[in-house]
Amino acid sequence: MESHRRQFLRRAAIGAAALAGAGGSRPARSATASSEAFHLKFAPHFGMFRNLAGKGLTDQLRFAADQGFRAWEDNGMKGRSVATQERIAKTMQELGIEMGVISALRGVWNSVNFAGEDRSERAKILEAVRASIDVAKRTNAKYMTVVPGLADPKLPLDYQTANCIELLKRCCDIVEPHGLVMVIEPLNRKTNHPGVFLYGSPQAYLICRAVNRPSCKILFDIYHQQVTEGNLMVNIDRCWDEIGYFQCGDNPGRKEPGTGEIDYANLFRFIRERGYRGIVGMEHGLSQRGAAGERELIAAYRRVDPK
């Protein structure tokens, strides 16, 4: 019964996505077969397909695999039970879906820690990173998102930067023996996260070069960097050697590609031609509600997926 239901939902979603794509201003790629994988490893998250796939986590994974998605990410993985983590990991292995980022500092990042001098706050970071190791291993995750907290208004920027570099090196000592990679994420100050320490891609590049460890790279969130600085291709090219992971979302609105000002078809073609074969996290909302919005989400990614 469940397999018949999934096949019905898959055919309905694919057909509707193809129709939705045909009506847009950009040419749509065909989505006629569930075996047609996306060329880039676009990674949805739980909740994106709850209307078409149901609320079950593994049902959402199976539905996504049917649509051609080859990766997944879950910022909230660390807060899930061990049994749930194991069930998710087993299903993803069966489906051939790669695990993207998990959040290493969920619940503790939003304070003055990396940039400041408070030893207790810095100790919390090290503890949170240690606690993420087993979660990452259990779920086959390689990348761990690290947001280096808030800026310290009491300290000059250079002191804050030195503090951040020193703490990141200590975090590297924890994750590197396990083959894990921290990806530090600049967040925009203008719309979503006023007061954060790390906000620009040049700043993230400088810090990663100074840390100089394979376990510390940049999470280049295209949405955040469009808000902060724009000039996306130039900044991506300059940061290239230190970028470990991408996330996306259009601007304004932080919804799926095609709803804002970013030319995602061209941008995704650029990073693929530049040689990127990693994951692109779909860290955004949907422009439409319900099943129709989820069908349009699939169609939107078909339109911008580079060949």
Local confidence band at 250 (pLDDT 50, 70, 90 cut-offs) = very high
Range 192-200 average pLDDT:
98
pLDDT band at 202 (very low <50, low <70, confident <90, very high): very high
Identity of the residue numbered 133: I
Average pLDDT over residues 60-89: 98
Q: Which 3 state secondary structure label does DSSP give 108? A: coil
Q: According to DSSP H, which parts of the chain are helical?
A: 2-22, 50-53, 57-66, 82-95, 119-138, 157-175, 201-211, 222-228, 232-239, 264-273, 290-304
User: Is the Cα torsion angle 11, 16, 22, 27 positive or negative in sign?
Assistant: negative
- pLDDT of amino acid 18: 41
Q: Mind listing the domains of the chain with CATH numbers?
A: 38-293 (3.20.20.150)
Per-residue pLDDT at 307: 87
Any idea which of 14-23, 45-54, 163-172 has the lowest mean pLDDT?
14-23
DSSP H helices in 106-258: 119-138, 157-175, 201-211, 222-228, 232-239
Cβ burial, residue 138 (10 Å; 0-12/13-18/19+): middle
Residues of the chain with pLDDT > 70: what percent? 89
**Residue 128 pLDDT greater than 60, yes or no:** yes
Quote the pLDDT of residue 305.
98
Residue 302 CA, distance from chain mean position = 18
Predicted pLDDT at 34: 55
Rounded distance, CA 98 to CA 37, Å?
13
Q: What is the pLDDT of residue 27?
A: 30
Written as six digits, the tokens of 157 are: 């920027």
Q: How far apart are CA 105 and CA 146, in angstroms?
A: 6
The H-or-E segment that residue 183 falls in is: strand 181-184
* Range name among 21-25, 116-120, 121-125, 228-232 with the lowest pLDDT average: 21-25
Model pLDDT, residue 218: 99
Q: Which of 142, 296, 184, 281 is nearest to 223 (CA)?
A: 281
pLDDT in tens, 21-38: 333 333 333 333 355 999
Average pLDDT, the chain: 91
* pLDDT (tens digit per residue) in 129-152: 999 999 999 999 999 999 999 999
- Which tops the pLDDT comparison, 178 or 4? 178
In sequence order, what are the residues at sequence separation of 6 or more whose Cβ sits closer than 8 angstroms to the Cβ of residue 159? none
Q: How many CB atoms lie within 10 A of CB 158?
A: 8
Average pLDDT over residues 266-274: 98
Q: What is the per-residue pLDDT for 155?
A: 98
Those residues whose C-beta lies under 8 Å from the C-beta of residue 104, and which sit 6 or more positions away, are 78, 128, 129, 132, 144, 145, 146, 182
pLDDT, one tens digit per residue, over 90-104 is: 999 999 999 999 999
- Residues in a beta bridge with 71: 98
- Mind listing the pLDDT tens digit for each residue in 170-182? 999 999 999 999 9
As beta bridge partners, residue 181 has: 143
CB 129 within 8 A of CB 175: yes
Tokens 């909230």: give the residue: 76
Maximum alpha-carbon separation in the chain: 63
Of the given ranges (20-34, 63-77, 233-247, 286-300), which has the lowest mean pLDDT? 20-34
